[in-house]
Structure 1
Amino acid sequence: MASFRSWLVTAGSLLLGTAATAQRADPPPTLRDFSEQRIRHQKTLGYALGGYALANIAVGAIAAGQTQGETKAFHQMNVYWNLVNLGIAGAAAFSQRKQSGEGETLAQAVRQHENMKQVLLVNVGLDVAYIMGGLYLRQRGLTNELNGLANKAARQQGYGTSIMVQGGFLFAFDLVNYLIFKRRGDRQEEQLIQATSSGVGLILPIR
């Protein structure tokens, strides 16, 4: 009789587990909020980068036509650089236009969150490389200036300064957003994982 009762409880637990899994097909509100918050943040990143790029393109295009030498080269590079930024922001906005947190599993949401943090960290490293590249270009310009190559020197120094400025902005932009993702998202991620690990149990005493 004890064996039969144990078998009955085991079978009942399996049926309850199957039913609970079916009921969890739709993500709970906390998981949906976690996913949608990430998506909103990603869209905000794209809009902010796009707005910054448009402003730089407009100012740079006007200023490049009214200046000469190193200053002209600086504004020209601002335009070139931010045409790329605008393309990246536009591509991101296009890919995210129909993105939704509805239906994401916890594993998918966690993976997307961690991927976003990794992308931002990689970008931070690239931003440092941009700054160093701009500094190197400025140094080359100074060398050419000493060698009497004034036009080439002015172009290199203007381009170098622009790349340093743009790299510095992107460094701050990516680092701040990484910290926001980490501070806010990691806490929510941990709470969701702990809740899932703990689960909802049903205890039936067997006597």
Structure 2
Amino acid sequence: MTKINKLLLAAGSILLSEGASAQRVTPSPELQSFTEQRIRHQKTLGLTLGSYALANIAIGAVAAGQTSGETKYFHKMNVYWNLVNLGIAGAGLLGSRKTLAGSETLADAVKQHENMKKILLLNTGLDVAYVVGGAYLRERGTNQPDKADQLRGYGKSIMFQGGFLFAFDLVNYFIFKSRGDKQERLLLSATPDGVGVVLPIR
């Protein structure tokens, strides 16, 4: 490689590095606030669900050993169900800790906000299915006397847990929507030049 080629290569590397640095735009205070609000809400969701799960596991483990029949199975299912809830809450908290408010672009922040609303709405549909499934198990208990206590206890527990999650997901959806949508509209309505922007969200 000649000296001229080396000089051209070095100059090209410098220009490319400067161009890459110029693309790392510091997010506006409004965008950072929008992202931080979502992250805080996600952490609150995880902490609330995790605390609820721990309480159910502790109460259910003690009560299952002190009761019998249908009530015993009710508490046992509460423990099983909330072990899953605890895992979901833990995964959510880990995910929110990895997200940095200053690292998201406007498109990323909007996409994450819309995804959270979709997830919460999808969860409410699943929660209704849980309640229906629990009612089905409880009804089966009337037709299977040998497993009546187990089916009724499990069914009532699933109905209870599904009802709680339905309220939890629906309330958080509306909180998320009311807090975030207004900020989202303001961020999307204008660029620094006052020009409206449209971002495709998939």
Same fold (TM over 0.5): yes
Q: Are 1:45 and 2:45 counterparts?
A: yes
Corresponding residue for 1:81? 81
Q: Are 1:68 and 2:68 counterparts?
A: yes
Larger radius of gyration: 1
Q: Are 1:101 and 2:101 counterparts?
A: yes
Q: CA deviation at 1:156?
A: 0.2
Corresponding residue for 2:186? 191
Runs of 4+ in 1 over 3 A off after TM superposition: none
Contiguous gaps of at least 5 residues in structure 2:
1-21, 196-202
In the aligned structure 1, how far is the partner of 2:169 from the partner of 2:95? 20
Corresponding residue for 1:136? 136
Report SS of the residue matched to 2:191: helix
In the aligned structure 1, how far is the partner of 2:110 from the partner of 2:26? 16
In the aligned structure 2, how far is the partner of 1:119 from the partner of 1:197? 31
1:91-113 Cα offsets, whole Å, 9 max, x none, are 12222223221131111100000
Corresponding residue for 2:172? 177
Q: CA deviation at 1:47?
A: 0.5
How many residues end up aligned between the 2 structures? 174
User: For the aligned residues, what is the CA RMSD?
Assistant: 1.5
Corresponding residue for 2:118? 118
In the aligned structure 1, how far is the partner of 2:165 from the partner of 2:142? 25
Q: CA deviation at 1:198?
A: 5.7
- The AA in structure 1 aligned to 2:69 is G
In the aligned structure 1, how far is the partner of 2:184 from the partner of 2:24? 18
In the aligned structure 1, how far is the partner of 2:123 from the partner of 2:69? 31
Q: CA deviation at 1:163?
A: 0.1
Give the share of equivalent positions with the same residue, in percent.
68
- The AA in structure 2 aligned to 1:29 is P
Q: CA deviation at 1:187?
A: 0.8
Q: CA deviation at 1:24?
A: 8.1
TM-score by length of 2: 0.83
Q: CA deviation at 1:65?
A: 0.2
The higher relative CO (CA closer than 8 Å, separation ≥ 6) is in: 1
- The AA in structure 2 aligned to 1:66 is Q
TM-score by length of 1: 0.81
In the aligned structure 2, how far is the partner of 1:86 from the partner of 1:121? 20
